[in-house]
Amino acid sequence: MSRDAPSPTNPFALWQAQLAGERRLAAKTREAYGRDVRQFLAYLGADLGPPLDPKLKALSAQDLRGFMAARRADGVGSRSLMRQLAGLRSFLRFLEREKLADASALSAIRGPKLPRLLPKPVSATSALRLVDPDERGGETRAAWILARDAAVMTLLYGCGLRISEALGLLARDIPKSGVDQLRITGKGGRMRIVPVIGPVIEAVSAYRALCPYQLGPDQPLFRGARGGPLSARIIQFAMAELRGALGLPDSATPHALRHSFATHLLARGGDLRAIQELLGHASLSTTQIYTEVDGTMLLKAFDAAHPRA
């Protein structure tokens, strides 16, 4: 049996199994939480076990504060510290529920204050240029690659997908004439139905017609130059080249197209609850940040145009 294999004597592995099963956290989140716990144990000089190290049973608020201070001294930012604290809370509370340790030290710990960062969408005009393959017509890359990149970006802006969701599509998921929706599995395994508009169908169809590789129904829809699954890094690189050519700021990333999808819908009178469903947000409070973005853009337009501003 491996060290992290679930067993009655391996609380770390049982906790990881609970994150995957009951809480249905994404694999990357579970991996990050596990890494955070290992870093904390290394700071304590404690062993992962089994059996559970006595230092975890006698944990104090000072231990937690010292760890957070040490991570801050190493240059770790507030958002990363917040995630590390979330991972530790999850693990320690699991140990407490299993009657293996006392997690009361957590009550004395507050997370770092986070600046409220508003999403930075691009304008509707810029978004349309970013998803237009003709904007890269002078490049030496193959036509199918330009069509592929445009199709991915059109899914981000036209359907509000995360880049991981777009690149996770299989060939059988291809939107086509007569099929105007996609079934997407997002963060935490949450399923949602996303409407697909005509330009998205056209962009994906153009890519499919030019793609030189066989697109079996259970194979990835988007392929790299050598036929393997397409990497998000390639789309990020393509976006960086495009924003340079179009004179857009560094904030014009693939994820900014998803932000633009939500912001432009809201500006046209879209219902906030409906936008929450389209984005796959678990909480409406996450979606409400776009109301602040829309208000900020409105004030900027006012300041730029009003004669008494």
Quick one: which of 117, 136, 135, 147 has its CA closest to 255? 117
Does 62 fall in a domain? yes
CA distance 218 to 224: 16
Q: Same domain, yes or no, for 68 and 170?
A: no
Q: Same domain, yes or no, for 260 and 224?
A: yes
Whether pTM > 0.75 for this model: the answer is no
DSSP conformation letters of 73-108: HTT--HHHHHHHHHHHHHHHHHHHHTTSS--GGGGG
Quick one: which of 267, 289, 294 has its CA closest to 279? 289
> Looking at per-residue confidence, does 254 or 176 come out higher?
254
The domain in which residue 77 lies consists of: 11-108
Domain limit, last residue, from 51, 80, 108: 108
In the set 30, 162, 223, 243, the catalytic residue is: 162
The mean pLDDT value for 286-294 works out to: 68
Does 79 fall in a domain? yes
Our answer to whether residue 162 is catalytic in this structure is yes
Q: Same domain, yes or no, for 91 and 173?
A: no
183 beta partners: 193
Determine phi and psi for 245, rounding to 5 degrees: -70, -30
pLDDT (0 to 100) of residue 6: 43
pLDDT (0 to 100) of residue 293: 61
Tell me, letter by letter, the H, E, C secondary structure of 200-224.
HHHHHHHHHHHCCCCCCCCCECCEC
Q: Same domain, yes or no, for 84 and 158?
A: no
Count of domains forming the chain: 2
Our answer to whether residue 259 is catalytic in this structure is no
Our answer to whether residue 306 is catalytic in this structure is no
Give the model's confidence band at 5: pLDDT under 50 very low, under 70 low, under 90 confident, else very high: very low
In the set 65, 72, 136, 255, the catalytic residue is: 255
Q: Which amino acid is at 178?
A: G
Our answer to whether residue 281 is catalytic in this structure is yes
CATH of the domain at 70: 1.10.150.130
CA distance 152 to 95: 43
Beta-carbon contacts of 302 under 8 Å, excluding residues fewer than 6 positions away, are: 309
pLDDT (0 to 100) of residue 7: 46
In the set 120, 187, 192, 208, the catalytic residue is: 187
Q: Same domain, yes or no, for 133 and 96?
A: no
Here the tokens at position 108 are 């004395």
Q: What is the pLDDT of residues 154-175, one digit of tens each?
A: 999 999 899 999 999 999 988 7
Would the pLDDT of 298 be above 70?
no
Would the pLDDT of 45 be above 90?
no
pLDDT (0 to 100) of residue 164: 92
Q: Same domain, yes or no, for 144 and 63?
A: no
Does 117 fall in a domain? no
Q: Same domain, yes or no, for 55 and 97?
A: yes
